Chains A and B, each alone.
Chain A
């Protein structure tokens, strides 16, 4: 431990720790626009500069390690003037159209301009002009609003291992772009939206489907059915000032009805269905010597990642569609038939924590008889906008229950929202399928938590099963490289594109605080802990679906509706 002096107060710090970390812990707020926790500091924005006694210039606290006896002043006139000037310089090259911006009210640049008292346009001049890239089904890039903090570039490269975007050109000409200044749609972008999650301004945002959804709701011809992903109920509340991790399941259901959705279903139900199919597929592969390790297929960013960078592993991907697409397909087949509705009249809306789900919904493989399984995908953030637009107050709504039959889920399905959750749910069911007995729940605890790679070996019916749960695709890269080099002890891998899983998805409410992600995760595990039905195979409505329609997992019908195929995208 070293002692440092911050604003005349003695503070303890770990040797080698960056000043900014210490300041954060001590509750001293120094602004930053480029810092990403856990990554090597880039030192790009220069907002976190502080004065250190004996040093001539200002020092970036994000990138400067503490040392014994260091005397730091965080808010001297010189530091404040520097911060303010930096924000003024950014404003001088910013479109200044906050009123029209999707980030109006939650923009970090806007907040800092307010906080630092920017009240006049001190610097003026030519602004950079760029075209807006709307080519991607998931992400809109508006380089005019970009402040070049570089966080998107670093997340894309260092967390996701994709590097779809990078800096181009130099000096004031610099901007961020996919290769050859092409659209994101033809780039290696996997649509995960982690770039949006870290973007401090409106330069990156989701491709919004609000218009399509409201039009469908207002169209009397359409039966508009909404499904919501497992993690949405524990994150939506944050958009309305509730504390992170608060489950708003019932209230959200009530809100859906007020918004005019005709049916409210739960994607966690089809997550149970996915487990049935996926566990069966795993058992089948193990028994028949199929391609192993099998890899999960519910995360569409990961799927594109494999198709693009590791097509040699396409055979390892589970052929199961994701829960979103399974439910879409079942609604437009089984449910439509049962209810006597023409499938083309159904408009399926999915509320997802994810921008890649928008891409997934558009995949031609997902269509049945020319009809897409899911017609529109909204992110959690878009749903919040819809609720606000309708003037609903989540705090005054009375909770309501979902519609049957696809509103009933086991808590295993709910676990799809966290990294390790799919694996845990699948093991519960696979164990039952292999042994006829229920798995002791506590045995698979090592799969929980926010670690990027979690591995676990388990004995099931005399078979030594090695499993891994990975999140953040740079971690997936590591594991795939090991497997390429001949690693054989892993049989089943769950991959979630976003670090920590869907709870930290690219469509979730903005949060730069890791504690919030932990709170969301905790909420899902608490729901599971307190649940009565905790395994997918014991979900009565799943059993009914098989009895009435699909017969059994991996049946002809389920292959037709619930399974898909992939294609190499490697050039």
Chain B
């Protein structure tokens, strides 16, 4: 990614603005950095445009590490040592293409940087041999080369920005992710970092910062979509000696990992956004509430906070402007509901993470009863560039009421799972098929679940929707934090609804009755639909039908009366799937079958008498003694005894057992 990717100023102006930041901070750097700053080539050197020896970048975000990047890193270092090669190894965050991890990029002096995919430990040595020793680019495992005007390109190798995964993206928040050493503040500054904060606190008043945010049209990226500038303004307008700023990094939606990637890959961007926000509302204390399951992100935060403090960009008397800010990292213990702002506040206060009634809103009475703003990670990561480049730069992109970009986490049955950032208004089709590369194994696209448990499922008919806050709400989904779980034809939508209801009823805090008691009954109703008649006793069938009758009524009451957002949106997985996949529900209910073949209890096993030779193998292996028949004559399955285990299918050598 080019450092001046925003392109609102000329290359030269941009470089000067970066140098100006270094200049302001120069006294506070360690001696070795100060020496580097003397060089006329300081920016190209720090940005690694000007290299004296090869650099090997290993993606060691959580996704990379999960795919084996730790081992790759170890082997790479060993290789350099064994071969006495002078080269730098840089650990970077996730570039977004999680499916291809571990990603290794190599840059030789004067040449562009090249990315390779799936470089597991066994492939590392061959790659390094080929590129570093022989200066030959192997075609297998190649992703592409980064574009850099001042460097010599490799011939016949595609540019990453032309790669179908990256080409349709607009990477603002993720600009540095996977590119820079996330815990080196000089790299962040060399790419325009901290210009926003410096501008805010040295040239702008607090109301001006709020106004700028409001003008930009930035809306909360955590789900609700409330105008960030308005939230800040409300907290600024509330009188109070002590105010707090909270960054909500308690990312809990299944299939969402945007916040983690930003904090792992570019934590300074968050810290800068947080500092600007705290300045805007007059807060001297900020909390980052982050789930304890993100240890790497927490490590990075601790280190970057230390560096920012050293440079006077955090702590006491920031940039000598009389503005103080302490950031405290608060680890969440893994409750989904703690992403809800009032529950989060309770949790920070040391209480049980349960929501409080609003009003009063946190901007009036929040943490410890003081005016408090709570913003999500992605929201704050947008802030530095908005201040540095001005609101018009930001709101030039997007739809009428949703400005800027949105990061989505693509997962599920999609070819390229990963993290993508697109301009608001990009169609679902572009995201899923162009960027995501469509469905795995050439299967049919069936649905995409957007917005986590509170969101909804959309269908092929919605692929042309230009994704923004309003368009998603219109079709019963929501932006949420940006998780997109893609499903193919082999997914049963009743099963999906069941999964999310199970999640919600387990993650409900248990405080308000409709959410606590209602969601468990909704789950039970779904479970009954997918249970086989043969496992029912007594009044079970009656209860099954009664449940279906009251499902809608129950959903309505839960929506109407629940205390917090979790409860109010708890019935969405059911209502959403019911809206677009009613036929599938009806097949489960009336025909007692699962069209996708997922709900095992509803599968019907039959023996084709034409194919059956009467070998008796199935009958011998049936654990329920449900198969009858004399040797050498076709067998048959007693439906009421069959438990649907599928053993007969597995053992039949004549493919005589059919499953419907």
Contacts of A150 in B (CB 8 A): 511
Chain B 478-499 interface 0/1 with A at a Cβ cutoff of 8 Å (1 = within): 0000000000000000000000
Is A41 positioned at the interface, with any CB of B under 8 Å from its CB? yes
Which residues of chain B are near A171, meaning CB under 8 Å? 504-510, 516, 519-520
The number of chain B residues touching the other chain, given as a range, is 35 or more
Across the interface, which residues of A come within 8 angstroms of B561, CB to CB? Answer: 46, 49, 57-58, 60, 82, 86
- Could you tell me if A86 and B557 are in contact, using CB atoms closer than 8 angstroms? yes
Q: A41 touching B357 by the CB < 8 A rule? A: yes
Q: CB of B354 within 8 A of chain A? A: yes
Question: How many positions in chain A have a CB within 8 Å of any CB in the partner chain?
Answer: 40
Q: Which residues of chain A (37-76) have a CB below 8 Å from chain B?
A: 41-47, 49, 57-58, 60, 62-65
A90 to B520, CA, bound (A): 12
Contact pattern, B 149-175, Cβ under 8 Å of A = 1, otherwise 0: 000000000000000000000000000
Answer yes or no: B370 CB below 8 A from chain A CBs: no
Q: Decide if B142 is an interface residue (CB 8 Å cutoff).
A: no
CA distance A44 to B510 in the complex (A): 9
Residue B524 lies at the interface, judged by CB distance under 8 Å to chain A: yes
Which residue of B337, B517, B524, B547 is within 8 Å of A170 (Cβ)?
B337
Count of A-B contacts judged by CB separation below 8 Å: 119
Contact of A78 among B514, B554, B560 (CB under 8 A): B560
A78 to B557, CA, bound (A): 9
Q: Answer whether residue A480 sits at the interface, using C-beta atoms and an 8 A cutoff.
A: no
Chain A residues with CB under 8 Å of B516's CB are 148, 171-172, 174
Please give, as numbers and ranges, the residues of chain B lying within 8 Å of A57 by CB-CB distance.
559-561, 568
The smallest beta-carbon distance between B383 and chain A, in angstroms, is 30
A148 to chain B minimum Cβ distance, whole angstroms, is 6
Q: Are B513 and A44 in contact (CB under 8 A)?
A: yes
Contact status A46-B514, CB under 8 Å: yes
Q: Mark B108-132, 1 if CB is under 8 A from A, else 0.
A: 0000000000000000000000000
Interface 0/1 of B178-195, CB less than 8 Å to A? 000000000000000000
Q: Does A124 contact B (CB under 8 A)?
A: yes
Q: B512 contacts A43, CB within 8 Å? A: yes
Docked Cα-Cα span, A89 to B555, in Å, equals 12
A144 within 8 Å of B (CB atoms): no
Kindly state the separation between the CA atoms of A437 and B315 in the bound complex, as whole angstroms. Answer: 67
Docked CA distance A174–B506 (Å): 9
Report the Cα distance A81→B514, complex, angstroms. 12
B2 interfacial contact with A, CB 8 Å: no
Verify B554–A172 contact, CB threshold 8 A.
no
CB distance from A35 to the nearest CB of B (A): 11
Residue numbers in A under 8 Å from B518 (CB-CB): 85, 89
Complex: A126 Cα to B524 Cα, angstroms: 8
Chain B residues with CB under 8 A of A47? 513
B557: chain A residues within 8 A (beta carbon):
81-82, 85-86
Q: Which chain A residues border B321 with CB–CB below 8 Å?
A: none
A123 touching B563 in the complex, CB below 8 Å, given contacts A170-B510, A172-B508: no
Q: B512 contacts which of A46, A64, A78, A167 (Cβ < 8 Å)?
A: A46
CB distance from A387 to the nearest CB of B (A): 36
Q: Are A125 and B520 in contact (CB under 8 A)?
A: yes
Residues of B contacting A62 in the complex (Cβ-Cβ under 8 angstroms): 357
B521 within 8 Å of A by Cβ? yes
Contact with B along A145-177 (1 / 0, CB 8 A): 001101000000000000000110111111000
Extra A-B contacts (17), CB below 8 Å, given A58-B560, A82-B557, A173-B510? A43-B356, A44-B511, A57-B559, A58-B561, A85-B553, A86-B517, A86-B557, A89-B514, A92-B517, A148-B513, A166-B352, A167-B352, A171-B508, A172-B519, A172-B520, A173-B506, A174-B509
A-B contact pairs, 17 of them (CB 8 A): A43-B563, A45-B513, A49-B560, A57-B559, A64-B357, A82-B514, A82-B557, A82-B561, A89-B517, A89-B518, A123-B547, A125-B520, A126-B524, A167-B352, A170-B509, A171-B507, A172-B510
Top 6 closest A-B pairs, CB basis? A174-B510, A43-B357, A63-B357, A89-B517, A172-B520, A171-B508
